[in-house]
Amino acid sequence: MTSVPPSDSTVVREPTVVTTLRALEDMVRGPACLVVLQGDNIGHTYDLDANKVLTIGRGRDNHICVNHRSVSRNHAEIHVDDRGAQLRDLRSTNGTFVNESQVGNAYLRDGDRIKVGRTILKFLNGSAVEAAYHERVYTMTRYDALTGVYNRRSFDEKIEDEVGRAHRYERPLALLLFDIDHFKRCNDTYGHRTGDYVLREVAQLVQGRARKHDFVARYGGEEFAVMLHEFEEPGPPLFAEEIRALVEGHKFEFEGHEISITISIGLVVWSAAYENSGQMIEAADRCLYGAKAGGRNRVVAAD
């Protein structure tokens, strides 16, 4: 879960060591968890409790999806019972390892390292402060601090994976690149504090409209990216037009100033003609340039 930084008018004081530890302890959500040490989403935590079985595998319906050919579709699972957290290999092709030893069924101990394919997970039982620390590290490395959406690094990794899946499974994929029109004029006229407000507000408007499995990122400066999948046509152009109209119709007001904001959008739907993620990004960027050259506040889609 992401958070938006406080506004510039908020006084931020450096916390003491004691208050920091208390804050971290308050973040604990369960008696045990897994932390990703190596692989996708480094630093992310997965809570374990007695009410659910946590599944690991290549299939997208798993709680922890490890997208690598060495991982079975349903690879392993963890269940918490009266004795503790029990790891069970689901007859995977290449095995599940705990502290470098292959296991079929084992109860985990605090600090154990679970290896599934190239991904390594650390089991934490009662290490509340350490788990919270890893969650903080994850947030800082994956999300944009100003807007609260994913950052450029996350986008670069995600689109590489999604284009690969589109090639392998012909999975629907669309990419939108959009830019805030005349953003420099906004900064020059009202100041950078107002510019930061506009960036945050636009990002959260689009994030609020996106579905849970869509991907919204700050691509750089005043430019953002959205990846859509699991859709039917004409889903992407309808979504693009909706967020364009949403931003245009929103009342942006900051420190007594009302600012008129619009966005220009370039849209590309994946096809086999795009051999890699770079080609798809370039196509979306050309469409974005076309939208701005055509008068801004519009959507231009690739043919």
Could you list the active site residues?
222
Q: Which residues of 201-237 are buried (b: 16+ CB within 10 A; e: fewer)?
A: bbbebbbeebeeebbbbbbeebbbbbbbbebeeebbb
Q: What are phi and psi of 56, to 5 degrees?
A: -130, 135
Alpha helices in 27-71 (DSSP H): none
Give the burial class of 36: count Cβ atoms within 10 A of its Cβ; 0-12 exposed, 13-18 middle, 19 or more buried: buried
Task: Quote the CA–CA distance of 227 and 62 in Å, as a whole number.
Answer: 21
Alpha-carbon separation of residue 216 from 19, 210, 283, 289 (angstroms)? 33, 8, 18, 20
Angle, in degrees to the nearest 10, between helices 192-209 and 183-190 = 140
